[in-house]
Structure 1
Amino acid sequence: MRWGRKVKQQRERLEEVEAALAEEKERERRVDAVASRIETSRHRNHFGEAIETAMGKRRHA
Structure 2
Amino acid sequence: MMRWGRKVKQQREHLRHAEAALEHEVERERRVDAVVSRHEMSRRRNHFGESIEIAMGKRRHA
- TM bucket, shorter chain: 0.7 to 0.9
Q: How far off is 1:56 after superposition?
A: 2.5
Q: How far apart are the structure 2 equivalents of 1:20 and 1:56?
A: 53
Q: How far apart are the structure 2 equivalents of 1:23 and 1:15?
A: 12
- The percent identity for this pair of structures is 77
Which portions of structure 1, spanning 4 or more consecutive aligned residues, are displaced by more than 4 angstroms?
none
Alignment: residue pair count: 57
Partner amino acid, structure 2, of 1:47: F
More helix by share: 1
Alignment-derived partner of residue 29 in structure 2? 28
Q: How far apart are the structure 2 equivalents of 1:20 and 1:50?
A: 45
Residue segments in structure 1 that go unaligned for 5+ positions in a row? none
Structure possessing the higher relative contact order (Cα contacts under 8 Å, 6 or more residues apart): 2
TM-score computed with the length of structure 1 as normaliser: 0.84
Q: How far off is 1:2 after superposition?
A: 1.3
Please report the RMSD computed on the Cα atoms of aligned residues, expressed in angstroms. 1.2
Partner amino acid, structure 1, of 2:11: Q
